[in-house]
């Protein structure tokens, strides 16, 4: 696996890549969900590129950014085992030479749910994804459905800016208890992980939003929202100091 930290070096490499490229942008601390995206990219394209960049612009709380789990060496080993071709790991200085003075903003879809509770988050996310898509110039880019609102916004941005890349949505990967895999899960102990998995259970088994919210409160979650949009039931909750999001596909009859 080639590890590239310089964007100047990457641009030179990219000019000589004339095969089909699959791209997985990540913030590191990789898990089986990320690796499933790599496996799919390996099947469907000739060259697999993974980026690791903990994007300061999409954290609306400094403390959350500082606490975000990082382990670049462990990530490198996992990506080598997955036979990824390139790891792109730029610095914040290289990604934001303008000190984040130029931003991408969406004005409708980004104002609800995550956008309401994490002001500025989607501006940072869209800005860095646009930069990475421009740098990698992939044919296919892979994103998980756990961050469903994010996925919709990326699809909308790609269409709005006429980007020549296909966004591939991939099903959420879960642990044995049903907990959606997330890098933030590293901050949960074993007991908390089992409790956290009940978020998925509640979303699947409750008949309406009030029942879901009541059940989550009773379990001990602090609920930011549970709402139904885009043929999904989506939720964000806090378990102690860790924020969890999840969503399930609704039956068309329920929408």
The single residue of 29, 34, 121, 200 carrying the catalytic annotation is 34
pLDDT of residue 252: 57
Q: Residue 216: CB partners within 8 Å, gap ≥ 6?
A: 199, 202, 223, 226, 235, 237
Domain check: are 101 and 224 in the same one? no
Q: How many domains does the chain have?
A: 2
Domain boundary among 170, 201, 220: 170
pLDDT, tens digit (0-9, with 9 covering 90-100), for 166-187? 999 999 999 999 999 999 999 9
- For 136, the enclosing helix (H) or strand (E) is helix 121-136
pLDDT of residue 255: 41
Domain check: are 158 and 187 in the same one? no
- The answer to whether 195 touches 219, Cβ cutoff 8 Å, is yes
pLDDT, tens digit (0-9, with 9 covering 90-100), for 198-250? 999 999 999 999 999 999 999 999 999 999 999 999 999 999 999 999 999 99
Quick one: average pLDDT of 40-54? 98
pTM (predicted TM-score) = 0.95
Give me the CATH number covering residue 32.
3.40.50.620
With a cut of 60, say whether residue 27 has pLDDT above it: yes
Domain check: are 145 and 28 in the same one? yes
Domain check: are 192 and 166 in the same one? no
pLDDT of residue 60: 85
pLDDT, tens digit (0-9, with 9 covering 90-100), for 96-144? 999 999 999 999 999 999 999 999 999 999 999 999 999 999 999 999 9
Rg (CA), the chain: 18
Q: Residue 31: CB partners within 8 Å, gap ≥ 6?
A: 173, 181, 182, 183, 185
Domain boundary among 148, 170, 192: 170
Quick one: average pLDDT of 181-195? 94
Residue 177 within a domain? no
Alpha carbon distance 215, 91 (integer Å): 43
Range of the domain at 42: 2-170
Other residues' Cβ atoms within 10 Å of the Cβ of residue 75: 19
Q: Residue 37: CB partners within 8 Å, gap ≥ 6?
A: 24, 142, 143, 144, 170
Domain boundary among 113, 135, 170: 170
- Is there a catalytic annotation at residue 31? no
- The answer to whether 141 touches 167, Cβ cutoff 8 Å, is yes
Placement of tokens 């899960």 in the chain = 185
Placement of tokens 């099947």 in the chain = 43
Among 24, 20, 9, CA closest to 132: 24
Residue 127 within a domain? yes
Alpha carbon distance 252, 247 (integer Å): 15
Task: Report residue 251's pLDDT band, with 50, 70 and 90 as the boundaries.
Answer: confident
pLDDT of residue 124: 98
Domain check: are 148 and 193 in the same one? no
pLDDT, tens digit (0-9, with 9 covering 90-100), for 48-84? 999 999 999 999 888 899 999 999 999 999 999 999 9
Domain check: are 121 and 21 in the same one? yes
Task: Report residue 254's pLDDT band, with 50, 70 and 90 as the boundaries.
Answer: very low
Domain check: are 36 and 73 in the same one? yes
With a cut of 60, say whether residue 253 has pLDDT above it: no
Alpha carbon distance 52, 102 (integer Å): 21
Domain check: are 157 and 121 in the same one? yes
Angle, CA of 29, 61 and 170, to the nearest 5°:
40
N- to C-terminal Cα distance for the chain? 45
């Amino acid at each position: 696996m080639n590890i590239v930290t310089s964007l100047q070096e990457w641009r030179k490499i990219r000019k000589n890549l004339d095969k089909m490229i699959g791209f997985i942008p990540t913030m590191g601390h990789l898990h089986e969900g990320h690796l499933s995206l790599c496996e799919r990219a390996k099947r469907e394209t000739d060259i697999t590129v993974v980026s690791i960049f903990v994007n300061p612009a999409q954290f609306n709380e400094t403390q959350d950014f500082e606490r975000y789990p990082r382990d670049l060496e462990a990530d490198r080993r996992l990506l080598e085992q997955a036979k990824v071709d390139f790891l792109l790991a730029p610095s914040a200085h290289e990604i934001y030479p303008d000190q984040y003075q130029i931003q991408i903003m969406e004005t409708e879809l980004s104002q609800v749910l995550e956008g309401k509770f994490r002001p500025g988050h989607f501006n940072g996310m869209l800005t860095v994804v646009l930069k990475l898509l421009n740098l990698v110039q992939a044919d296919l880019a892979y994103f998980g459905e756990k961050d469903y609102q994010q996925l919709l916004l990326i699809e909308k941005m790609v269409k709005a800016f006429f980007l020549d890349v296909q966004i591939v949505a991939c099903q959420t990967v879960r642990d044995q208890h049903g907990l959606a895999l997330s890098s933030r899960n590293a901050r949960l102990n074993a007991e908390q992980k089992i409790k956290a998995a009940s978020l998925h259970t509640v979303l699947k088994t409750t008949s309406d939003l009030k029942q879901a919210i009541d059940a989550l409160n009773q379990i001990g979650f602090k609920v930011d929202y549970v709402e139904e949009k885009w043929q999904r039931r989506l939720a964000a909750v806090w378990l102690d100091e860790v924020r969890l999001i999840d969503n399930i596909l609704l039956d068309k009859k329920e929408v």
